Structure 1
Amino acid sequence: MRILHVFDHSIPLHSGYTFRSLAILRQQRALGWETHHLTGPKQGTDEEATEAVEGLVFHRTRQPPPWTRSLPLIKDQAIVDVLARRLEAVARQIRPDVIHAHSPVLNARAALAVGRRLGIPVVYEIRAFWEDAAAAHGTFRANGARYRIARHLETMAVRQADAVTTICEGLRQDIVARGVPEGNVTVIPNAVDPEEFAHPLPPDPALKASLGLSDAVVLGFIGSFYGYEGLDLLLEAMPAIVARAPQVRLLLVGGGPEEQSLRAQAARLSLGESVIFAGRVPHQDVARYYALVDAFIYPRHPMRLTELVTPLKPLEAMAQRKPVLASDIGGHRELIQHGATGLLFPAGRPDAVADAVADWVAHPARAAALLDQAYRYVTEVRTWANSVGRYAPVYGRLARP
């Protein structure tokens, strides 16, 4: 089986998107499949070159002409055009059995055009709808003209693809509602590699001391600071949390679009040493920061994106036997069973965040009792071997004999 994957971006860039992609490729190769890899212009290269990263070779696509980059609709079409030209050249060289295009829809449009010309079936994998991600990031106005255009393009792509895969049940239901037969949509859920988390590091006393956490109960968030993550709600809840549990400190590791506004909010609330912004850390050091955290919290806001899409981070926390506290939006409910594998609290309310944290601190044995069930769930059910195995019937149905 020879698969040509089309990604938005890839390693060595670090994001939840690239980590999922890397896990898929490693597991597909472990199954004996031959994978090839193409990235779109977002990778940030001006040359149509190849790059070897962690034993994988990626074909890179040059960026569109500079004059197109400030004109939204023209920019999007230019991305499709340059990607389609690069994809067709690579596909003619590789002769894949399947082209597998991953979000966003611009990748699918290029893949569908090339697939039709060359007679190669196309799988389109949706990790989030382009229109919802853009609205959450502030690029599109929700239900505005560009949002509706993007939604139309997504709907056309899922109807035209030979098969559709997606990461969770919420997205699957939405895809089916757009007129795609249920049998043509397969869920390939986010997962973990149990071996990667089999030997978690002990807390580093020196690192803990340097962050002012030596005698603290540490609540943590490690990831990108996007508005939908709800970190503003978490900061809003911190005065009430500290009033009820003075030993609690919040450790925020990472960065992103909301970092400056979050720092300003923390200053406005006079949170002082209660909140530690550790900044971005090298990927090889992330495990050291995970080891400092006593419980992870994911207070995502309720909105269409978070109701439909499941994150990866809570699974990684469970794999390291860390308690997980999360808002009860749809994407979390697919991952976390309240009172069994984690603790859920009402979304969008700082008081609910404060109550959940205070209850966790006051009843540590109750939270500890969840860890074994959560660990079994991720290491027996939510493994990449289980998830990636679901591609076999999808590819097998489409590949030429």
Structure 2
Amino acid sequence: MNIAQFISHFPYPDQFENPRLIRDYVCSGGEIAAYKLAVNLARLDHGVHVFTSSVDGRESLETVEGMTIHRYASLTEVGTTRISPALLWGPLREKGMDIVHVQHTTPPGGAAGLAYAGIRRKPLVVTHHGFERFENYGTLARRLFVFLTANFFVDFLFARADALIAVSPFFASRSRYLKKYMDKTVSIPNGIDLEEYQTPLTAREARSALSLPDAAPVILFVGSLIPRKGVDVLLAAMSRVVGEYPDAELVLVGQGLMREQLARQAEELGLGARVRFCGFIGDVAQKVLYYRSADVLAVPSVDDMEAFPLVLLEGSALGCAMAVSDLETFRILIRDGETGVSVKTGDPESMANGILSILGNPELRNRLSTTARENAGRFSWKQAALETEKVYRRCLAAGGPR
């Protein structure tokens, strides 16, 4: 089967080692998930063609891990999204595709995939990675872009899809878009390559490698520094944590437009010396060290349309004890008191209680670590690829596009 996968950004081979790509070609959870799925579909002997943007004004053709990646020249950007007009017509030169799969993160990839499926009369599958709401920040152009996407484009795209994929059943039932199309929506959770998230190092050795304090409690956050991730809530919670553990340190791994605002908040709370901004870490081996170093992994997201953050799987695979917002969409992985501690969403006091309950109870921390690691074993990219393959075959058996 020849699969045409469309996505606005798709990681380069050196995406997370190249400072320019990290800065100018943003790839986060949705893009990483799309990459892993494409690799595993290629391993099932499918022809996987990825159509996406480039980081600059050049077109390129790459063959990576069994995939063929077609990159089209970017002429401008809106927010952090590259705009490649040729993505709309360039893929039409490729005529041997059997099915179109849009990995919907931002609109350019979705628009291009929709156009290709319509013109070539191919079945269209769309994976929804959680773009649901108008987030009112950034430039005027970005705000307009997001407003039009959230209020018009997403529903237009989903209405024309032959099948929709949600990354968790809880997300599917709550999504304002997907719940209109439950008859053609299936849930296929993200996966993880467990072998990548292993290390022989102890927590002390990992901390030494990262120059983190040897014995002080370390609370870790991994994710984008943007409003829906709730890092401001976590900072407020740290005031109480530091009150009980004066040497505790909050380690923030990620980048985003709230970086300076959060730094000011930390100073205003008197936490400047207790908060470490580490920037974006994409290299898995380096990220593993941070997870191994943590006493608590905090996931303080405040948006109930967070679909399935990969940080939950990554932290689970490393046996992190987690304090996590009690979002319904997280329940596919987090069971309160078993695989993590659930805290009231958006409530600094509740987050502080969750963190302190883990720090103050080694038995609980060890139990959470063990069950989280076991739970992560239920999710694999190979299984996700096999389930996605079934969706493709059903669409093809149904006789093509709607």
Which TM-score applies when normalising by structure 1? 0.85
Letter matched to residue 58 of structure 2:
E
Query: Residue 58 of structure 2: SS of its match in structure 1?
Result: coil
The alpha-carbon deviation at position 343 of structure 1 amounts to: 0.6
RMSD: 3.0
> Partners of 2:112 and 2:210 in 1: how far apart?
49
Match of 1:35 among 37, 45, 48: 48
1:265-304 Cα distance to aligned partner (Å, 9 max, x none): 1111111432222233461422222222122011112x35
The residue that corresponds to 1:338 in the other structure is 336
Match of 1:383 among 372, 380, 383: 380
Asked if residue 101 in structure 1 is aligned to residue 94 in structure 2, the reply is: no
Query: Residue 364 of structure 2: SS of its match in structure 1?
Result: helix
Higher helix content, 1 or 2: 1
The alpha-carbon deviation at position 209 of structure 1 amounts to: 8.0
Asked if residue 164 in structure 1 is aligned to residue 164 in structure 2, the reply is: yes
> Contact 1:298/1:327 (CA < 8 Å) preserved in 2?
yes
Report 1:205-220 matches (<5 A): 205=205, 208=208, 211-220=211-220
> Contact 1:221/1:253 (CA < 8 Å) preserved in 2?
yes
> Contact 1:4/1:38 (CA < 8 Å) preserved in 2?
yes
Report 1:61-140 matches (<5 A): 61-64=72-75, 82-89=86-93, 91-92=94-95, 95-103=96-104, 104-129=106-131, 131-132=132-133, 134-135=134-135
> Contact 2:72/2:84 (CA < 8 Å) preserved in 1?
no
The residue that corresponds to 1:57 in the other structure is 68
> Partners of 2:145 and 2:28 in 1: how far apart?
29
* Structure 1: gaps of 5 or more residues: none
> Partners of 1:11 and 1:390 in 2: how far apart?
23
The residue that corresponds to 2:37 in the other structure is 24
Query: Residue 101 of structure 1: SS of its match in structure 2?
Result: strand
> Contact 2:6/2:51 (CA < 8 Å) preserved in 1?
yes
Query: Residue 339 of structure 1: SS of its match in structure 2?
Result: coil
Query: Residue 278 of structure 2: SS of its match in structure 1?
Result: strand
In structure 2, the CA distance between the partners of 1:276 and 1:112, relative to structure 1 (3 Å rule), is closer
In structure 2, the CA distance between the partners of 1:286 and 1:157, relative to structure 1 (3 Å rule), is same
1:377-401 Cα distance to aligned partner (Å, 9 max, x none): 210x222222222112211122379
1:306-359 Cα distance to aligned partner (Å, 9 max, x none): 3xx221101111111111111112232332010111110111111111111111
Query: Residue 88 of structure 2: SS of its match in structure 1?
Result: helix
The alpha-carbon deviation at position 151 of structure 1 amounts to: 2.5
The alpha-carbon deviation at position 16 of structure 1 amounts to: 1.5
Letter matched to residue 397 of structure 1:
R
> Contact 1:342/1:370 (CA < 8 Å) preserved in 2?
yes
> Partners of 2:162 and 2:241 in 1: how far apart?
51
Moved over 4 A (4+): 52-55, 78-81, 136-141, 143-146, 175-178, 204-207
Aligned residues: 381
Report 1:303-382 matches (<5 A): 303-306=303-306, 309-379=307-377, 381-382=378-379
The alpha-carbon deviation at position 114 of structure 1 amounts to: 2.0
In structure 2, the CA distance between the partners of 1:136 and 1:298, relative to structure 1 (3 Å rule), is farther
In structure 2, the CA distance between the partners of 1:397 and 1:226, relative to structure 1 (3 Å rule), is same
Report 1:184-263 matches (<5 A): 184-203=184-203, 205=205, 208=208, 211-263=211-263
The residue that corresponds to 1:6 in the other structure is 6
The alpha-carbon deviation at position 360 of structure 1 amounts to: 1.3
The alpha-carbon deviation at position 37 of structure 1 amounts to: 1.0
Identity %: 25
* Structure 2: gaps of 5 or more residues: 16-26
> Contact 1:311/1:331 (CA < 8 Å) preserved in 2?
no
Query: Residue 267 of structure 2: SS of its match in structure 1?
Result: helix
The alpha-carbon deviation at position 376 of structure 1 amounts to: 1.8
